[in-house]
Amino acid sequence: MTTALVFPGQGSQSVGMLDEAAAEWPLVGQTFEQASDVLGYDLAALCREGPAEELNRTDITQPALLTASVALWRVWRELGGPVPDYLAGHSLGEYSALVAAGCLDFADAVELVGIRGDAMRHAVPQGEGRMAAIIGMDGEAVISLCQEHVAEGVVEAVNFNAPGQVVIAGSLNAVNSVIERAREEGAKKVTPLDVSVPSHCTLMQPAADRMAGALAGVSVQDAAIPVVQNVSAGAVTDAGTIRDNLYWQLISPVRWSESVRFMAEQGVSVMTECGPGRVLSGLIRRIDRNIGCHPTDTPEQMGKALEAVRESA
């Protein structure tokens, strides 16, 4: 049986995430201690106690989610969880996948995503960017709406999360115009997102430029497990291509639906969501109901995921 392990991105964080896992497995606390040493502040305390406003700041969210996801990956392996055939991560989650694949050293990845979050936070002045989720319109229709409003500023379809679920990002006024047009065109739901930066659109070019320098300063190895990257929606193992795609990822759409379909075409029928929350499990059900996806964020869920993967072998 062909399997995949997937890592969530921003939006899956919450105060108290992994509390049960940390109480059960010392490896979780050890992973957070390692990340805290790199960052220079107590990441575990912030995740455990909040405040939520600080945890939700992108330069803190990113290392927090990376660390939580890598901690669960380490627990998965310690408990005898099998090495998957494919790895993938949603946006930020791609860095977790690359640690699991042996491409990035964990400490390097913590430092990189801290820089990534800070670069994204400062790429667009506060209040000048926006993101919104559009439910009930296909990707091409959303792209067309965005193209109608380019004269008002940057507005782009940036996350293709599932059929009929597309996220847009860009300049405040242009995004607001597309929100209104989507409602007029019959979108089932349009939800402005409570995020601090308009991710994955061309407004992130300053962040991409800064990340190019940061990426040049770290070692990237060939992947021991193929990683399905956001930019290509295809499996990559070559270190040079992986490094290039991490640069382009910041200013390119997250092709999540295509990534999941690609893995399904390779025979993947069981996926494990390795990280806090169950966002990806929900999206994967919407993309392909023939794929079972199992969360791992509590000891109970981890046990069920291990059992499901072993039964499918």
Are the C-beta atoms of 177 and 192 separated by less than 8 Å?
no
Say which of 171, 196, 199, 200 is annotated catalytic: 200
Catalytic (active site) residue 200: yes
Are the C-beta atoms of 292 and 271 separated by less than 8 Å?
yes
CA angle 72, 13, 236 (to 5 degrees): 55
User: In this structure, what are the phi and psi dihedrals at residue 156, rounded to the nearest 5 degrees?
Assistant: -140, 150
**Residue ranges in the chain assigned as alpha helix (H):** 19-24, 26-39, 43-49, 52-55, 58-78, 93-100, 106-123, 139-148, 172-184, 205-216, 239-249, 256-265, 279-287, 299-312
CB atoms within 10 A of CB 134: 27
CA-to-CA distance for 152 and 215, rounded, in angstroms?
33
Say which of 12, 91, 96, 252 is annotated catalytic: 91
DSSP line for 227-245: EE-TTTSSEE--HHHHHHH
- The token pair at 299 is 């000891």
Residue 90 has, within 13 A of its CA and on its CB side, a CA count of: 26
Active-site residues: which are they?
91, 200
